[in-house]
Amino acid sequence: MREKTNRIRFSLSISSDMYLSYYRGEAEYVFTRSHEGKSVKFPARYLRKFVTHEGISGEFEIEFDHNNRLKDMRRIR
């Protein structure tokens, strides 16, 4: 039987200067809103693979397992 997952899509625009606070550990979590208006909180470490010299920008999707634990995060655009 396949495990049920939930997916949430959201947009982010974080400057490289702002991301430094996450990188340094000054901010542990990212808080945002999904396209549907739901509050989303996830560990900032999941953004590391998306950082560029300009920061982080784009549309993303998080996949959660049935216990609402983050399984995967990917950039859509």
pTM score: 0.80
What is the number of helices (H) and of strands (E) in the chain? 1, 5
* Res 77 pLDDT > 60: yes
Per-residue pLDDT tens over the stretch 14-50: 998 888 887 787 888 999 999 999 999 999 889 889 9
* Res 76 pLDDT > 60: yes
Structure tokens, 37: 């208006």
Of the candidates 43, 14, 49, 38, the one whose C-alpha atom is nearest the C-alpha of residue 27 is: 43
- 68 or 73, greater pLDDT: 73
Per-residue pLDDT tens over the stretch 53-64: 899 999 999 998
Residue 46 sits at φ, ψ, to 5 deg, of -70, -10
Bridge partner list, 33: 39
Distances (CA, A) of 26 to 11, 22, 45, 66: 22, 6, 12, 30
Give the length of the chain: 77
